Amino acid sequence: MSLACISSCVFGSSVRVESSAPCLLWLFCGKWGIMPVANFEEIRAIVASMPMVDKAAQNRYWARDQILTKPRGALGRIEQIGAWYVGWKAQYPAQFMHPRVSVYAGNHGVAAQGVSAYPPEVTAQMVLNFQSGGAAVNQLAFLQDADLKVHEMALEHATQDFTQKPAMSEQECAEAMVYGMMDAAEGVDILCLGEMGIANSTSAAALCCALYGGAAKDWVGGGTGVSGAALLKKISVVEAAMVQHRAVINRGDGFEILRTFGGLELAGIVGAIIAARVGRIPVLLDGYACTAAAAVLTRPCPDALDHCLVGHLSKEPGHTRLLKQLHKEPLLDFGMGLGEASGAALALGIIKAAVATHNGMASFEEAAVSTGEA
C-alpha cells in the first residue's frame, strides 16, 4: 500500500481553508531542520534524543507565581498546568497565540469483523463533514480560536484485519508516523490530537491488551454503541488477535505492537507526539484511541508522554485503566466518547486559562495589595 495519497486540510478560526499537496513522506521537517526517516530504527533514534523539560523556565514561573495577588496555591491544578506548559515550551513567559487541533482519519480492516455499529464508509463521510464545518470539533476549534487540521490517511486503503495478519507493514507504519511528524510545525504553540476511524476503538483495545495484559473484556467497550452479542463479538475479535500475535506481544516492542494492532491514523498521532516533543510543543491528547496510540511510546521511552496531558476521560472503560497505567489524570470528565479531538479541543480552554492568569496577574507590589504577612 502506498501512502502517497495522504492529504490534509487546514481550517482556521476565521474559516480559512487550505489544501496541501501530497507530502514528502520520507522527510521530517521542522524548525530543527530536515532529516530522512525510513524505518523504526531511525524513529527510535529520534525518540532517544528527545529533549527534557526546561526546569529553568519552570523555576521562573514558580518564582513569579509566589508573588501574584492570590494566596499561594489558590488556583490549584491551574498553577501546575501553567508550570507544565512553560516547561515543555522552554519559554518564559510563555505565549499562547497559535493552538492547533489535528484529527487523523483512517480505516481499519478489522471493521470487516462487524465490531462497529457503523460501516467503514462513515470515516470518509465524517472527513467531508469536518471539511464542511459540520462536526462538533469544528465548533470547538472555532470557539478556542484554533486551527483545525484534518488528515486523511489513505482512506481508500484500510489496514489489514489484525486477527489474520499485522495491520501494517513496518514501512506503512513508519511512513504514517513520519507524516504525523510534520504536524508539529514551527509557530504552533500547542497541539491537540484526536482521531476518526470506524473500528479504531477495537484497535485501541487490542493495543492496550498487548501492552498491559489482562483479559480482552477489560479493555473492550461499546465504542460507537455496540452491546449484547455485538459487544461479545468485539471481545472475541481482540482475544483472537492476542492469540494470533502472541510472539509480537512477548517481544514487547512498542512500534511492532503499533504496526500489528494499530491503524494509519494512530501511527500518525504517534509521529505527531514525537515531533511535538522535539519541537517543544505541548500536547493535549483526546480520548481512548488517541491515548492508546500514545502509550506505545512508553515502551522505548518511559517518560515519552511527559509533554502530554489528557484532555478528558472517555466513557470507554478501558480509558480509565489505561490512564492508571500511564499515571495520567484527565482534565475533564464529562462522559464523552465522540473522538475527533473533541475532548482535547474542549480542554484547550483550561490551558489557555492557566497561561492567561499567570501572564496577566499583577504581583502584590505591582497592585499595591498588602500581603498579610507580619
Domains of the chain: 7-12+93-358 (3.40.50.10210)
The enclosing H or E element of 36 equals: strand 33-36
Per-residue exposure over 118-129, b if at least 16 CB sit within 10 Å of its own CB, e if not? bebebbbebbeb
Q: How far apart, in whole angstroms, are the C-alpha atoms of residue 221 and residue 313?
A: 14
What is the C-alpha separation between 56 and 366, in angstroms, rounded? 24
**Which pLDDT does position 24 carry in this prediction?**
33
Query: Closest Cα partner for 264 from 185, 149, 165, 179?
Result: 179
User: Helices 200-212 and 317-326, interaxial angle, to 10°?
Assistant: 40
Please classify residue 341 by burial: count the beta carbons closer than 10 Å to its beta carbon, then call 0-12 exposed, 13-18 middle and 19+ buried.
buried
Contact at 8 Å (CB) between 223 and 318? Answer: no
- Given a contact cutoff of 8 angstroms between Cβ atoms, the answer to whether 22 and 6 are in contact is yes
- The Cα 364–Cα 167 span in angstroms is 58
**Nearest in space to 299 (alpha carbons), one of 40, 29, 105:** 40
What is the pTM for the complete model shown?
0.93
* Dist. CA 69–CA 196, nearest whole Å: 43
Q: How far is Cα 159 from Cα 1, in angstroms, rounded to an integer?
A: 9
Are 13 and 166 within 8 A, CB to CB?
A: no
C-alpha cell read off for 333: 470528565
C-alpha cell at 332: 475533564
For the chain, give me the number of helices (H) and strands (E)? Answer: 16, 9
For the stretch 311-334, pLDDT in tens is 999 999 999 999 999 999 999 999
Half-sphere exposure of 26 (CA within 13 A, CB side): 5
Grid cell digits, residue 155: 482512506
Q: What is the pLDDT of residues 83-92, one digit of tens each?
A: 999 999 999 9
Residue 232 CB neighbours (<10 A)? 13
Which residue of the set 41, 340, 365, 366 is catalytic? 340
The residue behind cell 462497529 is 116
Coil vs helix vs strand at 120: coil
Q: What is the pLDDT of residues 36-70, one digit of tens each?
A: 556 999 999 999 999 999 999 999 999 999 999 99
Are 176 and 269 in contact by the 8 Å Cβ rule? The answer is no
Strands 17-19 and 7-11: antiparallel
In the block, which residue shows the cell 487546514? 10
For this structure, is 340 an active site residue? yes
Residues of the chain with pLDDT under 50: 1-2, 4, 12-35, 374
DSSP state of 279: T
Select from 309, 264, 287, 285 the least CA-distant residue to 104: 264
Q: What's the CA gap between 130 and 126, in Å, rounded?
A: 6
Give dist(CA 3, CA 111) in Å, integer: 20
pLDDT score, position 213: 98
